[in-house]
Structure 1
Amino acid sequence: MDDFALYGSTYGTLLVDATIRLPLTLREGRDAEQLSRWLHEHPGVEVACPCSSVLRVPLDTGPAAAALDAASSTGTARCCSCRWRRGGSRRERNSDARKPVNRQDPGMQKIPTVFVRDFDNNPAHVLPKVTPGCEWVLAGEGQATRKYDGTCVMLDEAGKWWARREVKPRRPEPPNYIALSVDTETGKTIGWEPIGQSSFAKFHSEALKAAGLREWTAGTFELIGPKVNGNPERADAHGLVEHAAAQHVSVPELTFEGIRSTVAGLAAVDGCEGVVWHHPDGRMAKIKARDFPKA
């Protein structure tokens, strides 16, 4: 969680799900009372260290804020990964907790590609070498799902829609933009902007209208349709596909050639962009049909 100021007089508090690096809610103001009230309404919340590990705090004894404050006075709110302790000196926090952390998740950075890219010859293509950290895919530890080719949007817990947007280096961020991370390869800033100011606002509205009276659950979705990125999904109308309910696909052979064959076949049938694997612990990895050089 963090607070911020806009134009010097308007304040807000952003709460983020540390497991998926996506905003939970954006609240007006930054007073402790409203935060405490929100924590009371969500008793299952855990407090995360700046290094992304969950603090060893007895949250079942009361609201997260109160438990964390109580633990601070006894020094028990301590991270087992980087030894950060809430209430410690600034030097302690800076020396341990503020070290850069390599996060592989969809909210803060792009999902890693299963195979290493051929940067020496053609970075658009991959080599038959597994990207470090993605070995679990070939070990069969994840569920393969269809990768939809549209644009990502999100519904937060407050019922507000956001559109994913990338901002090029040295370009100004749009109004009300929530920056999440910077792509180290391209220098682009990745974040969310209110759907109403997005270039996809009209198509998103059409998708909602087409869905009728459906009750939407907070989460991320893929906006697809005739006017979205050239319509690679070959959709007849604009629609929203919930990522949490993505179609499962079968990848019979978890090798370079086996995966290449599967994604090429899926693309030939209906233009499927590729496959995303989901590990039970939240890790993800992807591959696109166009990542492979032509045989």
Structure 2
Amino acid sequence: MEARGATAGERKTVTALFADIAGSTALMHDLDPEDARGLIDPVLALMMEAVHDYEGYVAKSIGDGILALFGAPIAHEDHAQRALYAALRMQDEMRGYADRVRLAQGIALQIRVGVNSGEVVVRGIRADDLHTDYDPVGHSINIASRMESVALPGSIVVSEHTYKLSEGYFAFKTLGATPIRGLLTPLTVFEVLGPGPLRTRLQVAASRGLARFVGRSHELAHLEHVFSQAVAGHGQIVGVVGEPGVGKSRLLYEFKLRAPREWLVLETFSVSHGKAYPYLPLIEPLRPRPCRAGRPARREVGTAGRRSYQQVY
């Protein structure tokens, strides 16, 4: 964005994240300003690092907290998921830092995070002749701030809008209708407990009910032939290639259902926010996970990208 130019706004659908240190005023009351800064700066750094890891944008740093955007200026279709992954990363990193501070100085630190998704208008505000701030404006930003204000220390609270965009990918606890300062009617809010049981858009769709699978008989016949070759001891590799949305994931899903239950199926996915981690789809299946008693081991990891790779042994 050029510093010298028009400040016209652009409408975008984003997920806004507010995070700050809970009760910082009371914690810092008796501290020297330099000592207070020494506590706050590492917290801000880990917040920003978590945002940047998922390609979010830190729009503002406000005292002991930040405002971050996901979906602008870099557009992502999974902006709500990225925001919640970043929030979980913040809380996880913060627990380690807080433990060290508590042991060294006897000070208890916790952060709280609020998240909301919706439309905003983003515009460039010229701060001086050489610098432009990317400033979001809209009711969605205010709701995200209110989500942070109702969050308990150490927790992540999201609005119903964010919940609907990320349901299934994360585990939530319903907090019910909550009075929100500045609003006439309470809002239904949710607390994020952690990653959920589902990893892909297809799995989310399957949990809601898939349409009847039709066609692709030639492709399924080819996969079954390759499968019989593998059973006979001749190792096989199949690559499924096609444009986004033509049904690659559904084809593999239907083929997986036909695999004998006594076989071990390892399934892994590319993730849109994992580009910075080499070999991530190959690393994930190697992490040990317990199998349920009496059931064959089927492992599904990651989230869906444009290509799915499946190995059957």
Give TM-score scaled by structure 1 length: 0.29
Normalized per residue, the structure richer in helix is 2
Larger radius of gyration: 2
